[in-house]
Structure 1
Amino acid sequence: MTQPLTSFWPIFAAKSDGHDVVSQKGRPLRNGPTAAQLDRTPNAHGQCDYYRLIAPDDPKHVDWRKKLGGMLLRELGGRAHQDKWQQTILWAFPENYRLYEHIKTKADGHAKTPKNLKNHSGGGHDRQDAYLYGYPQGPRKRYRSPADFFPHLLWLCTDEASDYQNCTCKMCSPVQLDVDKPAAPPEPAAAHRSPPVALPPPAVSPPAPAALHPTPLPPPRGSEQLADRRYGQPMCRTGEVVWFFRPKTSAWGLGLVLRRWLAKDAPPSKAYLVQPLSHPFDAAAPELVTADQHLKPWLAWSAPSCTYPYLQQHPQLTYEHVDWNALLSGRYGEGVPDVDASIMAAKAIDTTYTLFERIKAVPAPSGEDRHYNGIYLGAEKIWRGDPVRIRLGVTGTDLLVITDIVERITTNSTQPQPGAQPTPSSQIYMTGDIYSYSTLPAPDPTHLPTSPSATDPNIPIRMREDMAWRNRTLVPTTQTLAYWRLIATASRIEMPDIKGRWYETSLLFEESFLKAVKNKEGGNGIWMNARGDAGGVGKCVGSMCSERVAAFGNAVPKGTVLVDGLEPPTSAGARGPVSEMQGLDLSGAAAQEHFSIDDFMNVEHLDDGDGVDFGGHFEF
């Protein structure tokens, strides 16, 4: 980052709640000016009205950070550092906070200054035509001046509990008793706070260790679960819905992972047997996928609309309620039944769940608690010990590391009719520790701050390895060190608040991550769909299926079987049984394949690993 030539003392904020994408009404929304607001095209009269991103070395950007740095040092350092109040600068806005300027021009192209507004490039008044975006409640919650943002910045630097009720900014506390009176810096404040910021000289120390102690990870109960905990193992799992590449048509389709294995090469190669999803009258053969890059999780992309206008006009129809015979006969117009069936089937499966591998059952009030080692949640298979994305929190980017999966069975003893049997009800929740993505300033790559989570054995190795990979780019490029910060232990999260599995940025979103860091957009991965988003239902419990294959109904052939484990299929001997691979289309596409789903969805981001169809889902 280019800094002003004048000598300034840098000061750092050690955490951020900023978010570049927020969820509103179950849909992602870019947390900044819209595409229309960023458009600099003049109108019919030659006038322009647009927003521009202010670069870090722009005088206005520097001016904001000088004011914030001075106020922060004055509040936290007191008069002991009074001589540096005017020479301190906030090194960077908290992550995912970005400054934009509203530009209006006359027909001759010259900037038009609004009334009672001094448009300045450095110094001057706090009120100006610049806006700081990033507040986690969306783009309408933006800060108009350094004075507006300072209470929130101070809260970020001092409140270790991250309790928004303790923040006095206009966004967190809309009711202000005296909105124009600047916060007075009481002298004893510095003596009673332990702020996670660096005071001059510019030597940055990490936050004081939290009093929280992570919960030990539950031991894996089998070799497959152990493999899924390791970094770099097969990304997709048996029983999951995935997008898979079909070489014969150069298309992506939706399918069920029937089995997976590691070929005994050196190093071992990965292979998957995938059953395409389709309508009840299709008998597509399973297909072989031999590379992780040819598979994507269901939640990584947003499904396109159906091809039949009839289905588009009746979005309430589910897979089981479609008259597929009539659709195939052409009664409802033209379309591609294979595509629409796979999309509708995947949406239906997204709202199901199946518990598996019960560990124990213990008495509970009015019933019992049944503990399980795993759950098929929507399209995904989740083990105890897995990190999952959760809906809770303001930003919605925190992770839960699951230590237990519990089904609470409660029996209603009050029955309306004598002699009636008690009616049991089921409630599923997960317990575990919650982690938040955090950063520490690392201005000197040769003397890095100590990350609290770098070697913690109670943080899944996948999370640690992925963060080490990210830091190899973040430290030299952004002078920050990222880590997973433990913010809550033994937390109970209800099943509807689970978004889905967490995936390594280094394995699924590498190109997107590098691009985001280059563009100074943060380093916490790419937005992904959550369970329930595809069908527009949002948070939901969904329907329980006693067996995983039952969730797929008629979308897969009758007799479909899932094969657990990582052992490769066996070859048939001369007099042995029929080969396990009989009927498999080794070319990667079914013999009667005739459509390309790419014709109906945006897959421009396939090559760079992006995890979302930005063109169809963001509101710009």
Structure 2
Amino acid sequence: MAQQPLTPFWPIFATKSDGQHIINLKGRPLRNGPTEEQLNTAPNDQGQRDFYRRIEKDDPKHIDWRKKLGGMLLRELGGKQHEDKWQQCILWELPENYVLYEHIKTKADGELKTVKNHSGGGHDRQDAYLYGYPKGPKKRFRSPVEFFPHLLWLATDDGNDHANCTCKMCSPAGDVERAPGKADVKAELLAIVKREPSVSKPVAGSNVVARHPIVQIPARRPSPGPPAPSPITPSAPHIRAPPLQQSTPLPQPRSLEHQADLSFNRFLCRTGEVVWFFRPKTSAWGLGLVVRRWAPKNDPTNRSYLIQPLSHPYESPPHELAMGDEQVKPWLAWSAPSCTFPFLQQNPQLNYGTTDWRGLISGRFGDGIASVDASIMASKAIDSTYTLFERLKSGTDDKGTEVRHYNGIYLGAEKIWRGEAVRLRIGSTGSDLMVISDIVEQVFKNVPPNQPDTKVSVVGDIYSYATLDAPDPANPPKPPQQNTNIPSRMVQDMAWRNRTLVPATRTMAWWKLIQGAARLDIADIKGRWYETSLVFQEPFHKAVKNGEGGNGIWMNSRGDANGLGKETGMSRPDRIAAFGASVPKGTRLVDGLDPPSQHVAQPQPPPQQVHEAMDMGLGADPFSIDEFMNVDHLGEDTGMEFGDGNNFSF
């Protein structure tokens, strides 16, 4: 815990910044920080870990950076008249959108140790890097000394001309000596405000580095217009508000089904999706296609799903009924098990379409269960497809390319509407969301061979999970952004989380708009977003209890099961075509939420078996393959675990 300083500090406020949280790289937004892979804390086979972690403001290393930067800035701008405060001032905040990370490479024992200096210690490597420079994450600052010329330029150059900055990022020949110049900066550019030690916001450590390197103040070019007024007045600090992001109005639902899926706590799964479903007849879980769903008008919480089980081309299993959200789980909620046939395990290049199902059924390739393996391989194949639906309008752009707009898309195993949130691959935390406002298909002409003739993009606002200090749970703070265009599902789910977070952690979470009307390829979508309050309650409470925050990542991503990764996948003309021979001919989807005219019987479970199987839920401990199917007759050699925790995508 941070210690109370023995002496007061004088804060210096950064009132201008060129930092960018998101940059545009070749027409696509990219988070300006470490990649998801670099943020992965999982150890390798030798038990070593090599990852980046964000350094928070109250971390000793963060404080050390800001003390050094504040001291250097006061020395260069304040002059001798403030010499008595050089060692007692601190940069109160890093410039907007500049974020400090440390690179940790642990030894085999994985022990972590935080040190206060910027270079680190106690590991093979533990270096700090400052991200946010507008030319992307490869342009990062390695020390306060390296960043200071850029900070000084931000404070002194009225014209905001990067050519006037002498830092190594703005001036690649950074080591070239320049004639020393004397800064013509008035004292009122800097406001020094004495601040007594605070109980709620203590500043850790009282030791200040006594020496500061001499830095070059850039010679400023003449500004084309009148000089901008000083952002800080002598009487009190004034922090310039960052530019406000503009959110996009939410599209209106076009049907009752669309409206239901945009509403909180309605249906967990949707018609046309691949789901895990509980089979009471065998007390096991299987994989199938939702062909219909409904809820009685007099009891909307009593939800029913009609499921077509997936299988091989030589079997046509009948529909099965799943009663309630407890009996269905999204495909991405659990990692698929290995196939039961050792032959298929040893030939991972085979897929659903290239597998000799007759040979497997006849026993030519050893023991196994063809229907189970077919359902697994079919689900993986469907995960690599997409189908657009409900075209809204078409037109041509200024290049003559046909542009089509759609209300929804089947992406992999899931059905996604305009107006709802999806999980993104971009970003340093892996938890950013996009609220989709448009789904666009471009159809190109005269395409060279082996090049795609279409491109599908999603347009929408990107949100990041953010927190605010809430020292008084009875009076939590209001988010700095007042946004009426956040979907109600996100709003209600966050309210549920905060009922636990605020009293337990003295922090309040909120959705921060970080970019409006961004455009991404559908390959950047991990999958649908699901409410923590509805499907991840147990892991959420466990994470809060362990001090791990309230926004864990507890789901797989599209493409994880089949190695597709970040690829668009194959277009299919309609949803049933994506399932191929894994469903019987004549299978059709029934849209809407109306109950069937005839009663659908539910298979009855064997006595005293269903309750144990029904205890499973999203976020619970992964289950073994024995609960997925009956493998007693196969012998011990084929018993494989259905995920072991490490099989989930983080």
Q: Distance in 2 between matches of 1:602 and 1:10?
A: 57
Distance 1:453 1:284, change over 3 A: farther
Q: Distance in 1 between matches of 2:328 and 2:100?
A: 30
Report the CA distance between 1:283 and its aligned residue. Answer: 2.8
Counterpart in the other structure of 2:547: 520
Say yes or no: does 1:614 pair with 2:627. no
Q: Which residue number corresponds to residue 397 of structure 1?
A: 431
Residue in 1 aligned with 2:538?
Answer: 511
Q: 1:434 to 1:321 in 2, by over 3 A?
A: same
d(CA) in 2 for partners of 1:563 and 1:284?
Answer: 18
- Deviation at 1:341? 0.8
Which amino acid letter does the alignment assign opposite residue 510 of structure 1?
A: Q
TM-superposed deviation, 1:253? 1.7
In structure 2, which of residues 434, 443, 459 is the aligned counterpart of residue 409 of structure 1? 443
The residue type equivalent to 2:433 in the other structure is L
Asked if 2 retains the 8 angstrom alpha-carbon contact of 1:127 and 1:144, the reply is: no
After TM superposition, give the deviation of residue 75 of structure 1 in Å: 7.0
SS of the counterpart of 1:269? Answer: coil
Say whether residues 1:313 and 2:306 are aligned partners: no
Distance in structure 2 (CA, Å) of the matches to 1:242 and 1:558: 20
Q: What is the aligned length?
A: 536
Q: Which has the larger radius of gyration?
A: 2
Distance in structure 1 (CA, Å) of the matches to 2:494 and 2:532: 9
1:462 is displaced (CA, Å) by 1.0
Residue 241 of structure 2 is matched in structure 1 by: 208
SS of equivalent residue, structure 1 residue 335: coil
Match of residue 4 from structure 1: 3
Alpha-carbon spacing, 1:122–1:305, altered in 2? closer, same or farther (3 Å): closer
Whole-Å Cα distance in 2 between the matches of residues 509 and 135 of structure 1? 33
The aligned counterpart of 2:335 is 302
1:433 counterpart letter in structure 2: D
**Residue 236 (structure 1) shift:** 0.9
Q: Secondary structure at the match of 1:477?
A: helix
Per-residue deviation, residues 466-511 of structure 1 (Å, max 9, x unmatched):
1222222222233322222222222221222222111112222221
Cα 1:329/1:295, change in 2 over 3 Å: same
Offset, 1:266:
4.8
Q: Match for 2:405 among 356, 371, 376?
A: 371
Residues 1:488 and 2:481 are matched in the alignment: no
Higher relative contact order, chain-length normalized (CA < 8 Å, sep 6+): 1
Q: Is residue 546 from structure 1 mapped to residue 573 from structure 2 by the alignment?
A: yes
Q: 1:330 to 1:100 in 2, by over 3 A?
A: same
Percent identity between matched residues is: 45
The TM-score with structure 1 as length reference comes to: 0.70
Instruction: Give the Cα–Cα distance (whole angstroms) in 2 for the partners of residues 377 and 3 of structure 1.
Output: 47
* AA at the equivalent of 2:402: E
Residue 414 to residue 536, structure 1, CA distance change in 2 (3 Å):
closer
Partner of 2:64: 67
Q: Deviations over 1:272-316 (max 9, x none)?
A: 122221112233222222232332211222212222121122212
**Partner in structure 2 of residue 470 of structure 1:** 497
From 32, 40, 43, the equivalent of 1:30 is: 40
What's the CA shift for 1:176?
10
Can you give the 5+ residue segments of structure 2 that lack an aligned partner in the other structure? 15-19, 23-30, 132-137, 156-161, 176-182, 202-237, 611-624, 630-638
Instruction: Supply the distance in 2 between the matched residues of 1:201 and 1:380 (Cα, whole angstroms).
Output: 53
Work out the CA distance in 2 between the residues paired with 1:616 and 1:360.
Answer: 39
State the partner residue of 1:128: 121
Aligned residue in 2 for 1:116: none
Given the superposition, is the C-alpha separation of residues 133 and 269 from structure 1 closer, same or farther in structure 2, using an over 3 Å criterion? farther
Corresponding letter in the other structure for 2:41: N
Deviations 1:150-183 (A, max 9, x none): 98xx99x99xxxxxx99x9x9x99x9968xxxxx
SS of equivalent residue, structure 1 residue 221: coil
Distance in 2 between the 1:192 and 1:235 partners?
56
- The structure 1 residue matched to 2:603, chosen from 566, 577, 585, is 585
Instruction: Tell me what 1:567 maps to.
Output: 594
The aligned residue for residue 161 of structure 1 is none
Evaluate the alpha carbon distance shift between residue 325 and residue 475 of structure 1 in structure 2; reply closer, same or farther with a 3 A threshold: same
TM-aligned CA distance change 1:474 to 1:330, over 3 Å: same
SS where residue 405 of structure 2 aligns? strand
Is contact 1:430-1:495 (8 Å) kept? Answer: yes
The equivalent residue for 1:290 is 323
**Contact 1:254/1:343 (<8 A) preserved:** yes
Please state if 1:359 is matched with 2:392. yes
SS of residue paired to 2:444: strand
Q: Tell me the secondary structure at the aligned position of residue 554 of structure 1.
A: helix
| Aligned twin of 1:238 | 271
Find the partner of 1:384 among 378, 398, 418.
Answer: 418
**Counterpart contact for 2:294–2:304, Cα < 8 Å:** yes
- Residues 135 and 265 (structure 1), Cα distance of their counterparts in 2 relative to 1, 3 Å cut: farther
Match of 1:221 in 2: 254
Change in 2 beyond 3 A, CA 1:190/1:458: farther
SS at match of 1:263: coil
Structure 1, unpaired ranges of 5+ = 40-49, 106-110, 112-118, 159-164, 179-185, 416-422, 572-578, 605-612
Amino acid at match of 2:352: Y
Shift of 1:189: 12
1:334 maps to 2:378: no
Tell me if the contact between 1:206 and 1:449 (Cα under 8 Å) persists in the aligned partners.
no
- Asked if residue 442 in structure 1 is aligned to residue 470 in structure 2, the reply is yes
User: RMSD of the alignment, in Å?
Assistant: 5.3
Task: Give the AA of the match of 2:287.
Answer: L
Offset at residue 363 of structure 1 (A) = 2.6
Deviation at 1:395, TM superposition (A): 3.8
- The secondary structure found in structure 1 opposite 2:453 is strand
Deviation, structure 1 residue 233: 1.2
Instruction: Say whether the 8 Å CA contact 1:127–1:145 is kept in structure 2.
Output: no
2:621 paired residue number: none
- Retained in 2: the 8 A contact 1:353–1:544? yes
2:290 aligns with: 257
Compared CA separation, residues 390 and 120, structure 1 to 2 (3 A)? closer
